[in-house]
Copies of this chain bind each other. A is one copy, B any other.
Amino acid sequence: MATAPPQPLSDHDLATVDRYWRAANYLAVGQIYLLANPLLTEPLSPDHIKPRLLGHWGTSPGLNLVYAHLNRVISARDLNAIHITGPGHGGPATVACCWLDGSYSEVYRDVPRDGAGMARLFRQFSFPGGVPSHVAPETPGSIHEGGELGYSLSHAYGAAFDNPDLLVAAIVGDGEAETGPLATGWHGNKFLDPVHDGAVLPILHLNGYKIANPTVLARMPQRELDDLLRGYGHDPLYVSGDEPRDVHQQFAAALDTALDRIAAHQQEARSRGSAAASRPRWPMIVLRTPKGWTGPKEVDGQPVENTWRSHQVPLSGLRENPEHLEQLAAWLRSYRPEELFDEHGRPRPEVLGHVPSGDRRLGSNPHANGGRLLRSLPLPDIRRYAVEVIKPGATLHEPTRVLGALLRDVLRATDERRDFRVFGPDETASNRLQDVYEASGKGWQEEILPVDEDLARDGRVLEMLSEHNCQGWLEGYLLTGRHGLFSSYEAFIHIVTSMANQHAKWLKVSRELPWRMPIASLNYLLTSHVWRQDHNGFSHQDPGFIDHMVNKDPHTIRVYLPPDTNSLLAVAQQTLDTRDRINIVAAGKQPSFDWLPVEDAVHHVHRGVSVWDWAGTDTGREPDVVLAAAGDVPTMEVMAAASLLRAFLPKLAVRVVNVVDLMRLLPPRDHPSGLPDSAYEAVFTTDKPVIFAYHGYPWLIHRMTYRRAGHDNLHVRGYKEEGTTTTPFDMVVRNDMDRYRLVMDVIDRVPGLALTAIAVRQRMNDKRTEHHAYIREHGEDLPEVRNWSWT
């Protein structure tokens, strides 16, 4: 350390970034505390203070510093850049910065960039009916909600994929860095193609403390931290200090170095081409500054700056405590607001010297309002992939395998545009979507060996054994205006339940913001589902993600359970190019019966719930019983039950119903897709027993239909947490959803059946007993079950 530190900033530039930083800090403090008197034009009095002090100061000065410096380099280099705020509790910082750069007032015209606007800016923050305390959909320039920590890097990589000109500056909090998702988020660099993708610049902000504790990364020995970051594949640049001028110079130097290196890596890779490129050691910055920097050093004799005590609101009780009030006034004045704002409250030109123009501003970059860039997805005609169905229930196909061909052609159709990707945790082929590799390899920037198959530097299929990264990458990709699909083992989508929560919340809030343009829906393909875990058993059996998501905003959530291959294609057609939704599609990968020719499948999916006349025995008469199914395995069991009933109780009028769009079951007041009562009753009747075989937990169907007439006649079979490694039919028997049980259910519930019915019931019961004996002996299902077909 004998050499003088670099001084890349001229005095003028230094003054400019420092003014922006001070202005943003002033505005952050103002938002937390002030209800009035924003420019301190009168002495601060208790009346000027908010009655409830809410917000997070601690991380704000660091966020403001980064923003101020990004302004400089964006302007100097004409960069196309967005930023992601991992420590997103620091909402006042980001709001302050994009109010300063003018973006805020352009989308919120009632908050102009002047004194009146500043007053409103302060008042609305964390105020009822105002703006939330975190970085949120309401924050211009953000694609990242800052409330739940851990996803900044996966969002950043998702934004950078297929955006070769984009720089994504990702600020990672040192609290956030302790989370699992963030800890593996670093490995995104193994999937970033320097030729076709943009750059991610991680800025690890070590401010030392969380809510109440030091952070792990800030307290590691420096050598270990350096090893860790190098181990993650980065060349770290360190910035450390608490003297602003010095930190400005250090940070500017680090930023210049990082951007030079990124440009050099990209230039080199792009001159060589994807195939010859190898993963660069991308730069990153470690910014070590005090938590709550420039805030009160001590309060009531306790150290505050550079401790966890500055996490939220360092000074409280201001309405009662004149000393604290005086401290706040001194704190605000320490930024010298008179140098920063003119007498009308407008930022002075000297503050805005580095602010980029128009869409180059971080608060206005269209990539952070991805709907502005979104193009319609080119979907081929599904009839090209449809399987021929001459007779229902006679042929078998693997639904996801056929879907794979369609997805392949979507990848092909977007080969130039590069705005569609498929994500999955090492399971794309296991989930039988392998045809996609004909159109695009699996993105991979590590060494590729001769034995490897389908790996490609420029691949748009991404597979990493981290559901968190798959989800975060896809979210980042969608939020920046592209399309995608996440295929997952059904049980393990629960790993990202909490991320899905946050994305649903984002979509709900965005829908209410006129300036946020709709983005492409998040499409889940849940496969390798509960009923076919022959290899893996109980740990892989959990259909509850649907239950969970059904509680979210109904305008966002759709759930599809296609009964066969053509229905899955029709669902894909109906969902893949939608907007602002979360589409959950649960479909099997195992060979399963074809029921519907493609045109019928399209109509079925369009209606969502259909009576399958050809399968029932109620033609031209009132049904005695309704047999309903939702899901591929339930459909097969219901069809088998229907054929048993046709054979053994031919006089019984059985109506067969299939539900492919689950939300149709909800009343229209609870969901926009809900069937009107009249339509529901026309299908399910109001007074006949309904035996309903459902893909997941049976209680969900009750929860959705309890207000429907005839609900008391509804009897639902489904998965009731009885699982193990066993045969497909044994799984349905264990959960009482097998064909024999369904026939028994019918007999038990239809009143006035003849004596023959008792014999049939006994026969069904015997079949179940026979199953148990046979499977113990042979380890296989009964031949009549294995060889069953509808016709």
**Which residues of A are in contact with B by a Cβ distance under 8 Å?**
35, 50-52, 54-56, 89, 126-134, 136, 145-150, 175-176, 178-185, 187, 190, 210-216, 219-220, 224-233, 303, 306-307, 312, 426-430, 442, 444, 446-447, 449, 451-452, 455, 463-469, 491-492, 494-495, 497-498, 501-502, 505, 508-509, 534-540, 542, 544, 547-548, 551-553, 697, 699-700, 702-703, 706, 711, 721, 724-727, 730, 775-776, 778-780
Contacts and interface: CB of A to CB of B under 8 A. Distances in A.
Contact of A494 (B175, B468, B501, B536): B501
Contacts of A711: 706
A442 B213 contact: yes
Nearest to A731: B128
A136 to B, nearest CB: 7
A483 B709 CA distance: 48
Contacts of A451: 303, 306-307
A179 B706 CA distance: 40
Contact of A780 (B52, B213, B430, B465): B52
A184 B178 contact: yes
A695 to B, nearest CB: 13
Given A51-B778, A134-B539, A451-B303, A212 B430 contact: yes
Given A134-B539, A491-B498, A494-B497, 20 more contacts: A56-B535, A127-B725, A128-B726, A132-B725, A147-B536, A147-B537, A179-B184, A183-B187, A190-B216, A211-B430, A225-B231, A228-B232, A231-B231, A231-B232, A306-B451, A495-B497, A505-B539, A509-B538, A544-B551, A702-B703
A65 to B, nearest CB: 22
A535 B50 CA distance: 13
B55 A535 contact: yes
Contacts of A145: 539
Contact of A498 (B226, B426, B492): B492
Contacts of A89: 536
19 contacts: A54-B534, A126-B535, A128-B775, A132-B539, A134-B539, A146-B539, A148-B495, A149-B465, A179-B466, A182-B184, A210-B465, A213-B455, A220-B233, A227-B228, A228-B231, A494-B501, A501-B544, A702-B702, A703-B706
Contact of A535 (B54, B215, B219, B730): B54
A127 to B, nearest CB: 5
B553 A721 contact: yes
A725 B126 contact: yes
B428 A212 contact: yes
A725 B180 contact: no
A668 to B, nearest CB: 16
A127 B544 contact: no
Contact of A706 (B147, B706, B726): B706
A187 B216 contact: yes
B426 A697 contact: no
A86 to B, nearest CB: 12
A149 B148 CA distance: 23
A437 to B, nearest CB: 10
B534 A52 contact: yes
A128 B548 CA distance: 30
A570 B538 CA distance: 35
A291 to B, nearest CB: 11
Contact of A134 (B35, B231, B430, B536): B536
A640 B429 CA distance: 58
Nearest to A442: B213
A212 B429 contact: yes
Given A127-B779, A129-B776, A548 B544 contact: yes
Contact of A779 (B51, B464, B466, B467): B51
A346 B285 CA distance: 61
Nearest to A537: B132
A425 to B, nearest CB: 8
A214 B778 CA distance: 37
B51 A780 contact: yes
Contact of A463 (B212, B429, B501): B212
Contacts of A700: 703
Contacts of A465: 149, 175-176, 178-179, 210, 215
A227 B727 CA distance: 46
